[in-house]
Structure 1
Amino acid sequence: MVERMTLIMDAFAGPQTRLTLEEVTGRTNLPRSTTHRILEQLVRLRWLDHGDSGYGLGPRALGLGGREVGHGALRAAAFPLLHALSVRTEMVVHLAVLDRTDVYYLDKFGGRATVEVPSRVGGRAPAHCTAVGKAMLAWLPAEGLDTLYRGVLDRRTPRSIGDLGVLHHELSRIRTRNGLAFERGECYPHIACVGAAVRGPDGPIGAVSIVGDAQAPLERLAPLAANAAHAISEKLLGGEPPKMRPRPESAAPRNAVPIEALGRLLAMGERGEWF
């Protein structure tokens, strides 16, 4: 059994590898029924996970070092794009991943302006209080979100979301805005940011945010954040990122606004309060 489990785990080349049952069977030369049985046992024990695009490494496997490998690939794909974005906007740019209810910052760009933003590479912040975090939470299943928070949300400032129902509503609005998330003063009173998720076939891989002071023109910057996240997804996945399936109750309307029009539409929000 151990040998067969090892064969199956070795079939996954890295954190982003997704394989169907047939592909695992072909790579291991094990009987299909045996492969399926072991795969399901590995999913149940969290060594693998299973989504619409097949099987992939799960939390336990990633915790043994695969997480760092995956983070390295994400940082490498994002670095030139986010450095250029920081130079273009003259603002702080973050790259982060989701770690349960926190965001974990993988990279930060922005020169002298980085001193004014109290984040750091390797640091954490509550996901529901940041644009980069809300951008990733928006693509998690509703039941997964409920399990993560269990109805308890800590408030960092008076503007932080402190109720799970309100958070669900906010994430629904993010999905109808093609995944763009906004935050003004929710994590730090003097900071505002706009974020978009780097998306894979089964959920968010990471997220990008552009950060400034509380009066920053986030509405004008939103398309730049969205385009950067989209480009990183393409580099990681080798082509057009797959369109994720939003939850039925929160699916975007058919006439959802395209990215090209967001800069004009979002400018209608005065100082961003309606976000």
Structure 2
Amino acid sequence: MYRPAEQDAGSASSLSRGLALLDLFTSPDQVLSISELARRSGVPKSTAHRLVLDLIAWGALEKGTAGVSLGVHLFELGSLVPSSSTLRDLALPFAHNLNEVTKLTSNLAIREGNEVLYIEKITTRTLKVPHSRVGGRARMHATALGKAILAFSDPEFVNSVLSEPLHRQTEKTITDPVELRRELLGVRQERVAYDVEESRLGLFCVSAPVFNGQGGPVAGAISVTGATELAIAKRYAPAVLATAMALSTTLGATKRTRHATAV
């Protein structure tokens, strides 16, 4: 049975440090040495070594010849998270269909803090989108997915995002809160958001919000990504919007069925 290395008042600090080590991994197959973990996290190497042993014992990390990588137990826990796993499971056939119809990369994301979290990505052979990945995060103001979610979020959350510095990812990223509010108003009216080279030069993204049933709160967003201009990108808006609306209806019906069964 797993037993933590520390059982005193410092255990809370050890927990936060351990989580900080896990946060250094940016892909499922990434391998990091203890020296690299210590350097990036700023903790002493001896402390990093102790924390890594605890994380290995719990299953959060796995030891290899070149270092450690993320353990399978994290993925097991991740699959139990209802907000993302339910949406992902229901959205998978919709995302595949959108990919087939448009011949573009389709993405599904949810809100995680003040960022978007990619929970599914169906790639196309003709265009790879290296800056996004399942489990990856992106700035909300610089992505169509983020703007689609932000436009239908509660005003308090929108204000909190816009009150922070809007970092520039490319020369076309919107960094003016007033301009971004105007764009979000347009997204609310059209139910479609665009990112034309705002997150990465040479790429566009068309996204639509997904709701917990028609008229329900926003649950996430679905999109397609390609390499073209805005005028051409707008041609894909009807397919993305129709997919998002169908997925919203399905998500709402599933939740109602589960509620009725529970009662």
TM-score, normalized by length of structure 1?
0.59
What is residue 159 of structure 1 aligned with on the other side?
172
- Between the aligned residues of both structures, percent identity stands at 32
Contact in 2 for aligned 1:180/1:222 (Cα 8 Å): yes
Q: 1:218 aligns with which of 233, 258, 263?
A: 233
Name the counterpart of 1:233. Answer: 248
Residue of 172, 185, 189 corresponding to 2:197 = 185
Q: Secondary structure at the match of 1:205?
A: strand
Out of 117, 128, 136, which is 1:123 matched to?
136
Please list, as runs of the form range in 1=range in 2, the aligned pairs for 1:129-144 lying within 5 A after superposition.
Answer: 129-144=142-157
Aligned match of 1:91:
104
Q: Per-residue deviation at 1:118?
A: 2.4
3-state secondary structure, aligned to 1:106 = strand
Unaligned runs of 5+ in 2: 1-76, 257-263
SS of the residue corresponding to residue 115 of structure 1 reads coil
Contact 2:79/2:85 (8 A) holds in 1: no
* Distance in 1 (alpha carbons) for counterparts of 2:216 and 2:248: 12
1:208 maps to what in 2?
A: 222
Change (3 A) 1:224 1:141: same
Separation (CA, whole Å) in 1 of partners of 2:236 and 2:82: 31
Check conservation: 1:152, 1:163, Cα contact below 8 A: no
Distance in structure 2 (CA, Å) of the matches to 1:156 and 1:67: 33
1:137–1:119 CA distance, 2 compared to 1 (3 A): same
Residue of structure 2 equivalent to 1:42 = none
CA distance in 1 between counterparts of 2:229 and 2:139 reads 22
Match of 2:207 in 1: 195
The two structures, once aligned, show a CA RMSD in angstroms of 2.4
Residues paired across the two proteins, number? 177
AA aligned opposite 2:86: A
Change (3 A) 1:65 1:112: closer
Normalising by structure 2, report the TM-score: 0.62
